[in-house]
């Protein structure tokens, strides 16, 4: 439970002044780095960061003034030092911009520490095969909870539609209003894949999916250079493959070499601990339902067994869609199921 403290905005106030030669007196002002350049963190590998600056990859470490402040994939940062990106070069990250969203995972069997996984992504794409392997509702529900809690818009990407009809699965999620795209293995580039590209354009999206669902195929179709980019990172860090918890941010090809959005692949994330998610925060993702809980008893979790929950009263009055309320409660329940049982 330390991460919420570790990543709090308070830490920004604790920055040290930059080091200067001589005996210049320390001032109370926050340091300004006139020569710093803006960048985006695209990978993290044991204390080494790959940062994209002006369309080019460079390598950096955290500068001392950042102290224990975490820097994660998706962070917008300010960098000083050798920003040439030349072999062996190493710049320093001196500032981290405030985050717009934070995707977290609670400590679980895979990872004993609660962590921020990705910062500043606005969409979470849950990639699920319609068959082979069979879709697992528990996993989808957990990913949706993580998205809503992070303030990210969810998108269902249902693959292998040539094997099974998406309708059965979609029926489960329709009441929640989750948007979806459907792809086929024989996609000619004009079907679901084109629609997915449209939905990814101009924003940063995290792709989440388990092995065998076709996530890697999608990543390769969306970013034809993905393999090369990863290889490049590894060559420079000299540390082999990414650590299992790492995420990898890739630019979607746009006109004039300008990225038309970003996708963040999460190869190491197999489960999503959700113990940190609070009911009052989750329901804020559903403003229509949130409104109906104004008169709930103090401490009401809005679960089905709450005696006087406003959601039940709204359903009884015919003001709430019972399917939507039931779906929301299914998500609430998904929080408390240990990831290894899903
Ligand atoms: Zn309630």
Task: List pLDDT tens digits, range 213-271.
Answer: 988 889 989 998 776 554 344 434 444 444 445 689 999 988 877 889 999 998 767 66
Peptide bond connecting 19 to the previous residue in cis, omega within 30 degrees of 0: no
Cβ distance 261 to 201 under 8 Å? yes
Domain boundaries, the chain: 12-96, 117-265, 279-341
Which CATH code fits 117-265? 3.40.50.300
Sign, CA torsion 131/143/3/61: positive
Ligand 1 centre to CA of 7 (Å) is: 30
Ligand 1 centre to CA of 231 (Å) is: 50
Nearest Cα to Cα of residue 40 among 261, 240, 237, 199? 261
* Top mean-pLDDT range of 12-16, 71-75, 252-256, 337-341: 71-75
Ligand 1 centre to CA of 321 (Å) is: 15
Q: What is the DSSP string of 2-58?
A: -HHHHTSTHHHHTPPPPP-SS-PPP-SSPP--TT-EEEEEEEEETTEEEEEETTEEE
Ligand 1 centre to CA of 279 (Å) is: 9
Ligand 1 centre to CA of 278 (Å) is: 13
Ligand 1 centre to CA of 336 (Å) is: 17
pLDDT tens, position by position, 23-71: 455 555 556 788 899 999 999 988 899 999 988 999 999 998 888 888 9
Ligand 1 centre to CA of 293 (Å) is: 5
Ligand 1 centre to CA of 142 (Å) is: 21
pLDDT tens, position by position, 108-124: 666 677 788 899 999 99
Look up tokens 């992504």; give the residue. Answer: 121
3-state SS assignment for residue 83:
coil
Ligand 1 centre to CA of 297 (Å) is: 7
CATH 2.40.50.140 fits 12-96, yes or no: yes
- For the entire predicted model, the pTM comes to 0.84
């Amino acid at each position: 439970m330390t991460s919420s403290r570790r990543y709090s905005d308070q830490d920004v106030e604790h920055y040290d002044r930059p080091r200067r030669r001589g005996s210049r007196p320390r001032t109370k002002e926050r340091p300004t780095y006139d020569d710093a350049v803006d960048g985006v963190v695209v990978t993290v590998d044991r204390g080494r960061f790959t940062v994209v600056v002006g369309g080019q990859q460079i390598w950096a470490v955290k500068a001392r003034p950042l102290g224990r402040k975490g820097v994660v994939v998706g962070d917008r940062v300010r960098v000083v030092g050798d920003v040439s990106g030349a072999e062996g070069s190493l710049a320093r990250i001196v500032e981290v911009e405030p985050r717009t969203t934070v995707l977290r995972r609670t400590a679980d069997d895979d990872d004993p520490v609660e962590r921020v996984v990705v910062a500043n992504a606005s969409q979470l794409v849950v990639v699920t095969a319609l068959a082979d392997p069979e879709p697992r509702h528990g996993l989808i529900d957990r990913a949706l909870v993580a998205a809503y809690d992070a303030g990210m818009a969810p998108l269902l990407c249902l693959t292998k539609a040539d094997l099974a009809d998406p309708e059965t699965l979609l029926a489960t999620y329709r009441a929640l209003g989750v948007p979806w795209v459907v792809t086929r293995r024989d996609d000619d580039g004009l079907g679901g894949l084109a629609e997915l590209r449209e939905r990814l354009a101009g924003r940063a999206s995290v792709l989440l999916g388990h092995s065998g669902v076709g996530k890697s195929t999608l990543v390769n179709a969306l970013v034809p250079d993905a393999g090369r980019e990863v290889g490049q990172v590894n060559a420079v860090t000299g540390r082999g493959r990414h650590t299992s918890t790492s995420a990898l941010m890739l630019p979607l090809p746009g006109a004039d070499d300008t990225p038309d959005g970003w996708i963040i692949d999460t190869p190491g994330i197999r489960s999503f601990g959700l113990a940190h998610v609070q009911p009052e925060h989750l329901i804020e993702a559903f403003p229509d339902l949130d409104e109906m809980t104004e008169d709930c008893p103090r401490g009401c979790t809005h679960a089905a067994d709450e005696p006087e929950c406003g959601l039940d009263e709204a359903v009884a009055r015919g003001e709430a869609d019972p399917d939507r309320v039931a779906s929301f409660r299914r998500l609430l329940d998904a929080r408390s199921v240990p990831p290894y049982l899903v």
